[in-house]
Structure 1
Amino acid sequence: MPQESEKKILHPEQAVQAACLLFELNTREQDILEMADRAGIPHADAPAREALVREWYGFVHAAVVYGLMAQAPNLVMAEYLRSTRTLLKQTAGYSPEAIESFIDETFSGYIRLMAQNKQKLCPALFYQRLLGTESLESLPAERVAFLSGMMAITMCAVLDKFAQYDFAAE
């Protein structure tokens, strides 16, 4: 019977770097736009594109925080949350005001659902914020299924990646 190999240990700084990398890998703009096309979310003009990217960033950031909550010491999660400002400034060019708005509005909606174990409601929140749709039943089922699948895959990928490591407390 093959022995399970030991997990690599990540120190807090390495864990924060890994979390930032997971965020960056899951928020490539071209990938977001392709996903939006399949999910039926318009993004032809700059404001629609910015809203779409911001919303996906909010979901992915929440998924990373949720993954850290599940696997890592509080110190790592706190350091990742502190690094959010730099990450959003570098990745998206957000101003300090835009970062505050992102944290208080966009991110908070998704992390609240995840913390309550209501991840299945994330697609509804996403569509509501971007399309003003109150009910997923009014949207084409294949588009909703695609977005739901993308969100589930992203969550699982983040959780699976963090599960591959042990986290050092210091």
Structure 2
Amino acid sequence: MRTSRLRTVHPVLWAGWAALATGAVLCVIGWYGVSGERYAERQLPYLASCTVPGAALIIAGAVLLAHGRDTIAALRVEELYGLLVATEPADAEAPGRATAPIAVSGDLLMVPGGTLWHRADCPLVSGKVEAVPVDAKLAASGELGPCPICEPAEETD
């Protein structure tokens, strides 16, 4: 089941871009004011009123952009995890209704370099050409664990 949602830009990202733009404008104004003055004492007001706050806004904008992207990424990971582990339909509370298991195959597969073994019809490995049958030595050594999605029984080795 795919969820359709509008791609919206997080408000923190808007604030970050606005702070970056405002900081850049202030730095340009400060540079222009400083460049027109010959004496240092006449340049200080431009530095204090434009260049320093502009630099601070640029730094704040960069921090907001980095934080906003991390927040969006974390929300997407949580949404994908919710979709991955949601095995029951929304109306599963109806009495007398049985839910079918996700995978029932007795064949066990693994992905090279992975840490889990799966049933052959598990949604995580079905259709993947790199999935290979489970090596009995790896399973016996404890390097591989059962998939939490399809829950293959250990005695099916």
Tell me if both proteins adopt one fold, taking TM over 0.5 as the criterion. no
Pick the structure with more helix per residue: 1
Name the TM-score, length of structure 1 as normaliser: 0.22
Name the TM-score, length of structure 2 as normaliser: 0.24
Q: Which has the greater radius of gyration?
A: 2
Structure with greater contact order relative to length (CA < 8 Å, sep ≥ 6): 1
